[in-house]
Structure 1
Amino acid sequence: MNPIPEWNKEALLHTPAFAPLHSIITRLEPDEFPTLQDCNALLEVQRPAIAVQSGLPLTFVPQEYGKLPFDLQYEPRCFLKGEVPTRANNWHDLLNALVWLVFPQAKAAINARHFRALTEADDSSAPSQRGAVRDTSTLLDESGVIVAYADAELAGLLRNFQWKELFWQRRMQARSGMGFYLFGHGLYEKALRPYTGLTAQGLLLPVEQAFFAWPYDRQLAHLDALLAGYLNSGEHCRSTRELTPVPVLGVPGWAGDNENATYYDNTGYFRTGRHGRHAKN
């Protein structure tokens, strides 16, 4: 088993895939793994203050173990109390906290979807439907990448697995008219030690071309609002088919090897299609 990566602030700040978290990582200490107190200190100075959809302010709390009552289970506790259980010295939970700080509206929307799926009673089809909603929400929350695009043709290439055309032959257009923003905290954890095969689940969101000239923090805030609005609409994210696989190491600049055209000839990674699924968005 590979050892747990050590905290290396400078390395994270020089990793392109971590760009959405850079403004938060900059504010953390360089030498020690961030603590629960560090995460809450970041929350205290966040403006506007972060709240869950029940209206309660967010806070990170120690993880409890054993058989828990409903209101202390992960998603209900977050929604009903504003408390996010967080394990100490744990990359997965630290990255979850950092994503909350960058995409607070979208994270709150995912939590609300989970809570509604756990508590709402509809017709006899509800259990399977709620399962699909939670599956999709979890997949996005753990492995999602937001794909912002201003050119529908580029989005079509991505949805249709035309990786070499998108990332190599149309490289300049992809750089200027498409952006990839890691969202899933499980995906960030994998990106600590990237490997060929690292694949995200992409949610494509259209934007105006001017978006890509905005300051990066403004881009992130806009995407947070867009994704939250998307998730708050009951018609969206009801099936994992709405998410499109993205081999993220193919994103220009995200891997040294992808500066060579032959990198995209690896069909074991840059697959030509998928079986039994198709993008709906």
Structure 2
Amino acid sequence: MTGPTSPQEIAKYAAARQAATYVEGGMKVGLGTGSTAAWLVRRLGERVRDEGLQIVGVPTSSSTAALAREVGVPVATLDEARWLDLTIDGADECDAELNLIKGGGGALLQEKIVATASDRMIVIADATKRVEKLGAFPLPVEVVGFGMNTTKMLLEEMLEGLDVMGNKAVPRMKDGTLFRTDEGNHILDLHLGRIGNARQLALILNQVPGVVENGLFIDICDVIVIGHGDGTVETRDINSGETGRMVHEVATDNVFVDIAD
């Protein structure tokens, strides 16, 4: 596997490599979507090939499913797996309580369903994703196509009365047309600046007619694995309070080698 070549990719890869150590034989594992999750899937493919690791992956998007098959990770649907031991996924933002904004890749609905059908959720991210307050990253909201402009208007009006710094809802585009999720829906990106009460906002958003789901993941993440550009990895388990630190050094061929703390 070709290794990372930039500090940000090194951080993502280091976090993914560390998170892969949580995966044990016989597990059913939710596989996230995005560039950081892609490193995880590739790492799990290596373990399947080199160690004979026996797992079943449940992808959160068609792109993740294609990558898993490509690297040799067996896949199943959530209906087939029914319940998962673990989900590992990336995040667009993460605060100190491990509340998240997700959905930059457009897979928030499947990601949330899979994560909540798991005993544990581990989030992998580079250090830039850690924030004091959520909201600088536009909050994705998945909406149905019917009456989308009305849904947009209702959302913007509702946001005026909440503890946020902005209320603009922008339809997500791709290649000059409205972006479509794997479920055939659209995404409205909410430019909020700062979210004062993420828990309240998550509840209110889903009451707006036309909204399918929002990208606020509240009380879902159990463990955060943060990678840095020098190969350092920090871990934090919000349930046990345990924290950890591991250092990786980058070999000249861009393959990570574990070294002692």
TM-score class, shorter-chain normalisation, is under 0.3
Greater length-normalized contact order (CA 8 Å, ≥ 6 residues apart):
2
Q: Which structure has the highest helix share of the two? A: 1
Q: Which structure has the highest strand share of the two? A: 2
